[in-house]
């Protein structure tokens, strides 16, 4: 028995851990429920934005001009809200392990703690990328259909917009999972993610003080908004993307350090 099993078993620690994390992600119902929630939310938000545009363009104030909108913008706008659901998807892969105690099994199976953090991130990254693109596509199509003649269905613009949203969803999700390794509780992690991805940048971004605008642009949520809207002030989209990558990588490194030091 023993010889057969030892001979057949293969793979490095990290690649095995990645396979295990993939199995874990799709074998709990909460992952699927989260996707259902995001699908509903993305569709509804897209419809709302589409109707909103159609309404605005048919009820113009004096001096305003009706404009078509590329449908990808509906997707990017919806992501402002949907990102919270996607962040929850990512952070739950970590916090649910602490809530259920299964983290002790995980660390027993993969005792090299850095590999655990890396494996979860390696599974999440492509999933988040596709997840973000799919939800943005849903919102874009829903918005495009409800906006009617005001929708601009240019495919090239759409592809660029969707890829940008996919990138942002990946960065925001990985950032949330990194925070989850540090905070451990679902409520705590969700609070941190909600504040840094949505609330604080939104509040500061509307300030007229230059220093506050800069602060918002340096936070992950603000950098995300600037990146998705293609804003060039105060930073170029490329720099905003770099800031997002830095937040995601920083959170994961911090998470790995904390996990390594803490008893399971």
Partner 1 sequence: MITLEGLTKRYGGTTAVDSLDLTISPGRVTGFLGPNGAGKSTTMRMILDLDSPSAGTALVDGRPYAEWPRPLTKVGALLDAKALHPRRSARDHLVAMARSNGVPVTRVDEVLSIVGLDAVTRKRAGQFSLGMGQRLGIAGALLADPEVLMFDEPVNGLDPDGVRWVRELMRSLAAEGRTVFVSSHLMSEMQLTADQLVVIGRGRLIADAAVGDVIAGSSRTTVAVRIPDRTQLAVLRDRLAAEAERVEAVEEGLVVTGVPAERVGDLAYELGVRLHELVTERASLEEAYMELTADSVEYGVAVAS
Binding mask 15-54 for partner 1 (x = CB under 8 A): -xx-xxxxxx--xxxx------------------------
Burial of 257 (0-12, 13-18, 19+ CB in 10 A): middle
**What minimum distance in Å lies between the beta carbon of 260 and partner 1?**
9
Would you state the structure tokens that stand for residue 32, as one six-digit string?
């699927």
What's the distance, CA 115 to chain centroid? 22
Check residue 9 for interaction with partner 1 (CB under 8 A). Answer: yes
Contacts 24+ apart (CB under 8 A), 195-199: 196/220, 196/221, 197/83, 197/84, 197/87, 197/172, 197/221, 197/224, 198/80, 198/83, 198/84
Closer Cβ to partner 1, 109 or 214, answer by number: 109
Which of 81, 107, 202, 258 is the binder for partner 1 (CB under 8 A)? Answer: 107
**Residue 92 binding partner 1, by CB under 8 A:** no
* 118 vs 141 by CB, closer to partner 1: 118
Phi and psi at 146, nearest 5°, equal -80, -25
Is 97 a binder of partner 1 (CB under 8 A)?
yes
Residue in 109, 185, 206, 250 binding partner 1, rule: CB under 8 A:
109
Contact status, residue 181 vs residue 205, Cβ threshold 8 Å: no
Rounded to the nearest whole angstrom, what is the least distance from the CB of residue 204 to partner 1 in the complex? 38
User: Residue count at the site for partner 1 (CB under 8 A)?
Assistant: 39
Answer yes or no whether residue 96 interacts with partner 1 by CB under 8 A.
yes
User: Cis peptide before 234, with omega less than 30 degrees from 0?
Assistant: yes
- Shortest Å, Cβ 35 to partner 1: 16
Stretch that binds partner 1, among 13-21, 41-49, 69-77, 248-256 (CB under 8 A): 13-21
Determine contact, residues 103/41, Cβ cutoff 8 Å.
no
Phi, psi of 68 (to 5 degrees): -75, 155
| Interface with partner 1 (CB under 8 A), residue from 61, 108, 155, 238 | 108
The residues of the shown chain that bind partner 1, judged by CB under 8 A, are: 1-2, 5-6, 8-13, 16-17, 19-24, 27-30, 96-97, 100-112, 263-264
């Amino acid at each position: 028995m023993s010889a057969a099993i030892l001979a057949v078993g293969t793979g490095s620690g990290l690649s095995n851990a990645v396979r295990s994390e993939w199995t874990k992600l799709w074998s709990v119902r909460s992952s699927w429920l989260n996707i259902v929630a995001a699908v509903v939310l993305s569709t509804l938000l897209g419809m709302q934005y589409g109707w909103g545009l159609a309404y605005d363009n048919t009820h113009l104030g004096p001096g305003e001009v009706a404009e078509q909108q590329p449908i990808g913008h509906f997707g990017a706008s919806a992501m402002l809200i949907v990102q919270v659901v996607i962040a929850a998807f990512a952070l739950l892969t970590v916090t649910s392990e602490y809530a259920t105690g299964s983290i002790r099994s995980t660390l027993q199976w993969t005792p090299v703690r850095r590999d655990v953090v890396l494996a979860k991130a390696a599974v999440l990254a492509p999933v988040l990328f596709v997840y973000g693109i799919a939800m943005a596509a849903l919102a874009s199509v829903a918005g495009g259909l409800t906006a009617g003649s005001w929708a601009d269905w240019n495919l090239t613009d759409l592809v660029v917009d969707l890829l940008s949203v996919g990138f942002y969803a990946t960065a925001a999700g990985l950032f949330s999972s990194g925070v989850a390794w540090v905070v451990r509780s679902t409520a705590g992690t969700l609070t941190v993610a909600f504040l840094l991805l949505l609330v604080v940048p939104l509040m500061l971004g509307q300030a007229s003080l230059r220093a506050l605008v800069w602060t918002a642009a340096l936070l992950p949520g603000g950098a995300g908004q600037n990146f998705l809207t293609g804003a060039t002030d105060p930073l170029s989209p490329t720099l905003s993307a770099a800031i997002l990558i830095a937040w995601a990588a920083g959170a994961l490194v911090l998470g790995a350090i904390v996990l390594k030091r803490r008893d399971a």
